[in-house]
Structure 1
Amino acid sequence: MDHKIIVAGIGPGGRDYILPKALSAIDHAHYLVGGRRALSDYAKDGQETYPITGKLSLLAEWLEKAIQKEDVVVMVSGDPGFYSLLPWLKKKFPSAPVEVIPGISSVQAAFCLIGEAWQGGSWLSFHGRIPDEKDTAYVKGRKLAFLTDHEHNPAYIAGYLIDHGWPSSTKAAACEHISYENQHVSESTLEDMRGLEGFGESVMVVIG
């Protein structure tokens, strides 16, 4: 199999946040895969596209046919190395060459929005999962960042952390729609964040 899969990180989503190399790969792609919003933002006339949904088996069938003909570009939000389709693609197509183009992670962007360095912090996810308790245990000065979902949103996570020993006065921030016109940042404490509504698809930052 000579044709390759190009996994292009598109960052938080806004065009100002995408690397030129990723944008070039997307612009020159004949076969283009991505979420519906990404396809709406970046796909052009003449490209054959496939939207990423929960039915990965159908995506695999489409990719299998497309890669026989030409390279395929798969757009993933944030950086491909952090909770993206990259591991699934490598497992599903072990003989296909894979090129990975990095992107700005939404976690990086969230730390920038609140003016904090992310070095030394732990990047975790509550998106469809619960992190190990040892990874979220309270340590004074510890920094944590979480991807959230609609069930495990910042309000849920704030309560979870307080119940597991974090002081209710701990500084916390939630960032949603990063890089878009409806970007929204809420900074408070874990106690106040227990009452925060929404922010289902967001990044939450906690600084102990």
Structure 2
Amino acid sequence: MTRKWLSVVGIGEDGLAGLSPIARTLIDHADVLVGGDRHLAMLPNDDRERLVWTSPLRESIDEILRRRRQAICVLASGDPMWYGIGVTLLRRIPLEEMTILPAPSTFSLACARLGWSLTEVETVSLCNRPPELLHTYLYPGAKLLILSEGKQTPAIVADRLTRRGFGNSSMIVLERLGGVHERHIEGIASNWRETDLADLSAIAVECIADPGTTTLPRTPGLPDDAYHHDGQLTKREVRALTLSALAPIPGELLWDVGAGCGSIAIEWMRSHPRCRAIAIEKARTQYIADNAAALGTPGLHIIDGKAPATLKDLPQPNAIFIGGGVTADGMLETCWAALPPGGRLVANVVTIEGERRLFQWQEKVGGTFTRITVQRAEPIGRFLGWRSLAPITQWAVVKSA
């Protein structure tokens, strides 16, 4: 059997007193103790080796791995598997070599204080993450629990809420949950002025929309005016059909090749917090960055370059959308080779040359064609008439082998 040399113990504000006998045993028998200054200060003084987390964190993990023959105990806040160090350690250390003992998470304690059902709450961490992540979670009636990065985080959250039309939302900052110095500070987002706060806290928000606030859905097909663009935009109706063909699944990666203003990649990521995307575009990367921040997907990976040359070293995708450049030499060959079995490829074209290229590939690997024509009613003098958008030919195929 593999020896479990590493233990990860969740600890709360109540310190050692709140730990189970098993957790105390793991700490007492460790040769090396690892944690932040706050956690290590909870332990009695002795001559055992102590490692304090460094920045970047990977240096500390390297130090842990170098001591693999010793018994090591890592102290973590609350539940190490909820936005915690346990998840990070498991990326490099097999579970068979670890023992993980969680304590109640900050989110669980916050819900207990507020009387909220954790299953009905949107949870997000802003620790080392951009605040733009909040944008996809804002809708009337939403209950948010947010892990803060520092004492300035509540003010940042209040500002984001106010700017997005949710200034009437109630906010409660919950500090030092589970400890003798637990404190709750309440206020309204638009009037938030509190600065005397703990470095670490949870922020509870009940979202109340200002009159006239428009909330964007997470479903595909956002309004065209939700995007900053120069005309190179997959139109709303075509975008909805394209995302349906791409069929995003949580945790999957999309390549958006010839991304334009990034609308396909952004709506892929908005479909689920774990969906990932890479947007490859030469001329409009600033549009993509602006749209990703505004629409709540700041984690979108943007590559400034021309495909297919920029594709060769990217992580393997589960799906690929080609919105431009389908006739470029090697484009379809490179994209097809990158897909795993079961991967999806969707390409949209508006030219006869593009159609010819797609028909050639359809004869080789199969797939289906869809002709998308959209007409929108627009004013003609005092009346309304139909104006046709450029028809789109869409090829969608699943790689069988």
Q: TM-score range by the shorter chain?
A: 0.7 to 0.9
CA contact (8 A) 1:13 1:78 kept: no
- What is the deviation of 1:134? 5.3
- For the residues of structure 1 that align with 2:188 and 2:19, how far apart are their CA atoms? 31
Deviates more, 1:30-39 or 1:126-135: 126-135
- Specify every segment of 5 or more residues in structure 2 that has no aligned partner in the other structure, as ranges: 208-401
SS at match of 1:119: helix
Question: Identity of counterpart residues, as a percentage?
Answer: 24
Give the distance between the partners of 1:180 and 1:104, measured in 2 at CA.
12
Secondary structure class of the residue paired with 2:157:
helix
SS in structure 2 opposite 1:178? Answer: coil
Aligned counterparts of 1:101 and 1:178: Cα–Cα separation in 2 = 19
Decide which of 184, 194, 197 is 1:196's aligned counterpart.
194
- Is 2:102 the counterpart of 1:97? no
Map of 1:158 onto structure 2: 158
Counterpart CA distance in 2 for 1:175 and 1:151 is: 12
Q: Shift of residue 111 of structure 1?
A: 2.8
| AA partner of residue 185 (structure 1) | H
Deviation at 1:133, TM superposition (A): 4.7
SS in 2 for 1:87: helix
Query: 2:55: which partner in 1?
Result: 54
- Structure 1 stretches of 4+ with a deviation exceeding 4 A read none
Residues 15-44 of structure 1: CA deviation (Å, up to 9, x unaligned):
444444323321222221111121111255
* Paired AA for residue 12 in structure 2: G
Contact 2:53–2:60 (CA<8 Å) still a contact in 1?
yes
| RMSD, aligned α-carbons | 2.6
User: What TM-score, normalized to structure 2?
Assistant: 0.46
**Does the CA-based 8 Å contact 1:12-1:179 persist in structure 2?**
yes
Is residue 4–residue 98 contact of structure 2 (8 Å, CA) maintained in 1? no
Contact 2:80/2:87 (8 A) holds in 1: no
* Count of aligned pairs: 204
Higher mean alpha-carbon deviation, 180-189 vs 156-165, is at 180-189
The separation in 1 between residues aligned to 2:205 and 2:178, in whole angstroms, is: 20
Q: Secondary structure at the match of 1:144?
A: strand
What do residues 120-147 of structure 1 show as CA deviations (whole Å, max 9, x unaligned)? 101101222135355422132x211001
- The residue type paired with residue 68 of structure 2 is I
Range with greater deviation from structure 2 (20-29 or 78-87)? 20-29
Cα distance, 1:58–1:127 mapped onto 2, change above 3 Å:
closer
Q: TM-score, normalised by structure 1?
A: 0.83
- Judged with a 3 Å threshold, the aligned counterparts in structure 2 of structure 1 residues 121 and 18 are, in CA distance, closer, same or farther, namely farther
Provide closer, same or farther for how the CA distance between residues 32 and 7 of structure 1 changes in structure 2, counting only shifts above 3 A. same
C-alpha deviation, 1:98, in angstroms: 1.9
Q: Distance in 2 between matches of 1:66 and 1:41?
A: 23
Relative to structure 1, the CA distance from residue 177 to residue 53 in structure 2 (aligned partners, 3 Å threshold; closer, same or farther) is farther
RCO (CA 8 Å, sep 6+): is it higher in 1 or 2?
1
What is aligned with 2:43? 42
Q: What displacement does 1:183 show?
A: 2.7
CA distance in 1, matches of 2:121, 2:109: 14
- CA, structure 1 residues 42+151, in 2 after alignment: closer, same or farther (shift >3 Å)? closer
